[in-house]
Amino acid sequence: MCGRFAITLPADAMAQLFAAQPANTLPSVPNYNVCPATAVHAVQAGGTGRQLSAMRWGFLPHWYKSKTAGPLLINARAETIAEKPAFAKACRDRRCLIPASGFYEWTKAEDGARLPWYIRRSDGAPLAFAAVWQSWGSADPVKTCAIVTTAANQGLSAIHHRMPLILEPEDWGKWLGEDGHGAARLMQPGAEGLLDFHRVDPAVNSNRAEGPELIEPFGEEDIPRGRLI
């Protein structure tokens, strides 16, 4: 799954990277602890080109009477997204990209303590998560989204059995619906060697934590980067 991530790119850099027109109001960056139910940056295709706008991370199906009427849907499984009533139409018609610098996952120590890891591209490039979105509410509609996840590749499976669906630049147009059909074929685990990871400070276990120190290596003298011991 993906339950927390970081975004450090300035908004104009994101707009340039995705060749998108930025909205006037976007979430503040950098944000080293992006949490569910908060606003995230999202890229979607439109009649006038790609748009970079804010969406609420937590997909709200149209039948929800309130934002808390059901489970907080922050992820959508690639294997079942096309059949799930909440996501099926969005999977066909409303796909978007969510930029990220990296994301967090957790393992458990022998004493049950949660040990956070920061995961990023090995080449240092930004990540583009595949996502779906839904406009919810009639009086004051809000765009909401969920990140698509796949089975983890072999390298990441030591930390978690799921991972976000990460798309390469040549696949962005296909996912956004600009390059015809075939988005379903993109829903595969990331290539081996795509990601690197290292332990980070347990301070990030709190959704109130903030600051660049959250993504810095923690205990590097004991735990080498890129593998578990």
Residuewise pLDDT in 10s, the chain (229 residues): 789 999 999 999 999 999 999 999 999 999 999 999 999 999 999 889 999 999 999 999 999 999 999 999 999 999 999 999 999 999 999 999 999 999 999 999 889 899 999 999 999 999 999 999 999 998 889 999 999 999 999 989 989 999 999 999 999 999 999 998 899 999 998 888 999 999 999 999 999 999 999 999 997 544 444 443 3
pLDDT at 221: 42
CA distance linking residue 132 with residue 190, whole number of Å? 18
Residue 45 covered by a domain: yes
pLDDT at 223: 46
Q: What is the pTM of this model?
A: 0.94
pLDDT at 220: 54
Residue 220 covered by a domain: no
The strand pairing partners of 56, in sequence order, are 39, 144
- Residues with Cβ within 8 Å of 159's Cβ and at least 6 positions away in sequence, in order, are 105, 106, 107, 117, 119, 152, 197, 228
Residue 71 covered by a domain: yes
Q: Which is catalytic among the residues 2, 91, 96, 145?
A: 2
pLDDT at 222: 44
CB 157 within 8 A of CB 189: no
Nearest-CA neighbor of 5 among 35, 26, 30?
35
Residue 136 covered by a domain: yes
pLDDT at 219: 76
CA distance between the termini of the chain: 22
Residue 225 covered by a domain: no
Residue 200 covered by a domain: yes
pLDDT at 225: 46
pLDDT at 190: 81
CA distances from 65 to 89, 140, 185 (A): 19, 13, 34
Active site residue 105: yes
* Residue recorded with tokens 């690639």: 78
Domain of residue 172 covers 5-215
CB 130 within 8 A of CB 90: no
pLDDT at 191: 84
Active site residue 220: no
Residue 135 covered by a domain: yes
Which CATH number characterizes residue 192's domain? 3.90.1680.10
Residue 229 covered by a domain: no
Total of domains in the chain: 1
Q: Which is catalytic among the residues 91, 96, 105, 145?
A: 105
